[in-house]
Structure 1
Amino acid sequence: MAGVTLNEVKKRFGAFEVIHGASLEVNDGEFIVFVGPSGCGKSTLLRMIAGLEDISGGEIGIGGKVVNDVEPADRGTAMVFQSYALYPHMNVRQNLSFGLRMNGNPREDTERRVRHAAEILRITELLDRRPRQLSGGQRQRVAIGRAIVREPEVFLFDEPLSNLDAELRVQMRVEIAKLHAELGTTMIYVTHDQTEAMTLADRIVVLRDGRIEQIGRPLDLYDDPANRFVAGFLGSPKMNFLEAEVVASGSTGATLALLNHQGAKLTIPVANAVSGGERVVVGIRPEHFREAGKGDCNLQLDVDVVEHLGSTSYVYANTNSPEQLIVQREEQQGRLDTLNVSIPSARVYLFDQAGKRLQ
């Protein structure tokens, strides 16, 4: 096993820089997830660790050794791609062993590794089948098994579940988590799905436009986001954002008028972080709304849509503005035209207009 270090890593395509000095230390045996919207640079960063993309600046270390000029096959990594990339004319056994056979690995050791990977992934009974005879989940297991047989120091996953249906994605998330627990090997996983990130990671690396916005444990990022982007990206449904204006500010807190809610006022303890007349953005997660009268600022919302999800409902409310509020409630039966809720000041996040976290 080995840790991975990125030190001011950059990537340029001509004059266009897509990775802007990324620095990160991945501990030995840690499960790290790169998450962010499409085009943020997470797959490019992963491919640079694998050696499939040249780096334009900085250093990449694996196991304490700089690997900038080391060939991909010699880095001690194994990569699982979004596409399964299985050879259709080979059976599962042959697909698993192909790379080892091409490298001249001894036959007995190759067979041992294939058996071991098949047992871990519970695909022993599939070894004589061709890829066309497998389900999507089974094919993904074979693709992961092909990485396992290499016995790498670092596993690299590039959106491996994106081709699976919703039920299989959940099942394979559990399988990958169990695999990490069993092998204890360093894993770096790329996804745009924040649910995958929250459920799999020891730590999450949130990227935007080729820059690392924040690094931390899943619940730390959820509860204590550094800025509006991280706050809005992590969480399903996403955090609500309300435009507000500071109407009073002092040493004990600030009073805000919510601009699209008839000037409803909310007082929060920000201790001189804002000044009167300043425009700010209030953030509150759907599950943090309270019943009317049980918080610090009451709102009446016009309901657009209610999503029923068993014991929980999500109410989507129209505010006659670009804001659409999402409120989590216990299962809501019957037609609902309006909803009265209250915002508890202790659950509020505050951001300036540029997205910097104030509270």
Structure 2
Amino acid sequence: MAGLSLKNVVKRYGAFEIIHGASLEVADGEFVVFVGPSGCGKSTLLRMIAGLEDISGGEIKIDGKTVNDVEPADRGIAMVFQSYALYPHLTVEQNLSFGLRMNGNPKADTNRRVRHVSDILQIKELMNRRPKQLSGGQRQRVAIGRAIVREPKVFLFDEPLSNLDAELRVQMRVEISKLHKTLGTTMIYVTHDQTEAMTLADKIVVLRSGNIEQIGAPLDLYDNPANQFVAGFVGSPKMNFIGAEVVEVNANGVLIALASQRDVRLTIPLQGAAPKIGDKVVLGVRPEHFLDAGKGDVDLMVAVDVAEHLGSTSYIYANIAGGEQIVIEREESRNASNRDTLTVALAARRSFLFDSAGNRLR
């Protein structure tokens, strides 16, 4: 096993810079997930760690050794891609052992490793099948097993579940989490799916446009996002953002009025620099943090657009007076239907506040 360190890592294509000085420390045995929208640079960063992309600046260390100029095969890493990339003419057993056999690994040790992997991934009964005889989930297990047999210092996963259907994705998330607990090896995992990030990671790295926006444990990012981008990216359904204006700044915090309903006012305690009266701000409320009418600091009446009833939970898509759409999560709220009006409550202690540039005020 090994830790990983990135220090001011930069990637340029000509004059165009796409990774802007990324720095990160990954502890030995940690499961770290890179998450962000398409084009944010997460896969490029992973490929630089693997050695599949040259770095334009900075330093990458694996197990305390600088690997900037080290060949991918010599970095002690194993990578699992979105594509299974299995050899169609080989059996599962032959696919698992192929890399070791090509490197001249002793036969007895190769057989031991393959047996060990088949036990861990519970694929003993598949060893004589070929890829075309496997389901998508089984093929992904074999692809992961091919990485495990190398006994690497660091595992790298590049959106490995993207080709699977919803049910298999959930199943494989559980399997990968169990695998990490069994092996205890450092793992770096790339996904655009924040649910995968929240359920798998010891630590999440949120990227946007080649910059690291925030690093932290999943619930730390959920409870204490650094800015509006992170707040909107972590959590499902995403956080609601409602336009507001600063009415007063006092010892208790900042009094805001919703831009669309000036009579709906809320005093928010501050943790950042105080805005000025008249400044435009954004109120952030997670769908699950709306309260029943009369149980918060101020009530808000909304018009229900669509109600999705999922059994124990309902998601209500509603519009406030100014036309802004919000999502409200309610338990056992089966009576809400289209064109209803609904009154909910806002609570300052469950709300976030951002300035017009998306910086966190509270």
TM > 0.5 between the two?
yes
The superposition leaves residues 26-47 of structure 1 with CA deviations (integer Å, 9 ceiling, x where unpaired) of 0000000000000000000000
Which has the higher mean CA deviation after the structures are superposed, 316-325 or 220-229?
A: 316-325
2:147 is aligned to 147
2:292 is aligned to 291
CA–CA distance in 1 between the matches of 2:247 and 2:57?
48
CA–CA distance in 2 between the matches of 1:170 and 1:322?
36
1:317 is aligned to 318
Q: Offset of 1:98 from its aligned partner?
A: 0.7
1:341 lines up with 2:338 in the alignment:
no
1:351 lines up with 2:351 in the alignment:
no
Q: Offset of 1:270 from its aligned partner?
A: 2.1
Q: Is the 8 A contact 2:314 2:334 kept in 1?
A: no
CA–CA distance in 2 between the matches of 1:321 and 1:164?
40
Q: Is the 8 A contact 1:246 1:257 kept in 2?
A: yes
Q: Is the 8 A contact 1:312 1:330 kept in 2?
A: yes
Classify the secondary structure of the residue corresponding to 1:317.
Answer: strand
CA–CA distance in 2 between the matches of 1:134 and 1:261?
57
CA–CA distance in 1 between the matches of 2:181 and 2:252?
47
1:281 is aligned to 282
| Count of residue pairs the alignment pairs up | 359
Question: Where do residues 1-359 of structure 1 align in structure 2 (5 Å cutoff)?
Answer: 1-270=1-270, 273-319=274-320, 321=322, 323-336=324-337, 337-359=340-362
CA–CA distance in 1 between the matches of 2:137 and 2:69?
35
TM-score, normalised by the number of residues in structure 1? 0.98
Q: Offset of 1:262 from its aligned partner?
A: 4.5
The superposition leaves residues 231-275 of structure 1 with CA deviations (integer Å, 9 ceiling, x where unpaired) of 000000000001000111112222111012344111122277122
CA–CA distance in 1 between the matches of 2:52 and 2:276?
50
Q: Is the 8 A contact 1:9 1:57 kept in 2?
A: yes
Counterpart of 1:318 in structure 2: which amino acid?
N
TM-score, normalised by the number of residues in structure 2? 0.97
The superposition leaves residues 294-322 of structure 1 with CA deviations (integer Å, 9 ceiling, x where unpaired) of 11111110011111111000100023656
CA–CA distance in 1 between the matches of 2:89 and 2:186?
32
Q: Is the 8 A contact 1:40 1:207 kept in 2?
A: yes
Q: Is the 8 A contact 2:240 2:285 kept in 1?
A: yes
CA–CA distance in 2 between the matches of 1:305 and 1:239?
18
Cα RMSD of the aligned pairs, angstroms, is 1.1
Which has the higher mean CA deviation after the structures are superposed, 140-149 or 320-329?
A: 320-329
Unaligned runs of 5+ in 2: none
CA–CA distance in 1 between the matches of 2:56 and 2:292?
54
Which has the higher mean CA deviation after the structures are superposed, 249-258 or 2-11?
A: 249-258
Counterpart of 2:44 in structure 1: which amino acid?
T
- Taking structure 1 as reference, are residues 87 and 322 closer, same or farther at Cα in structure 2, changes over 3 Å only? farther
Task: State the percentage of identical aligned residues.
Answer: 73
CA–CA distance in 2 between the matches of 1:116 and 1:209?
41
Counterpart of 2:164 in structure 1: which amino acid?
L
Q: Offset of 1:335 from its aligned partner?
A: 4.8
Counterpart of 1:77 in structure 2: which amino acid?
I
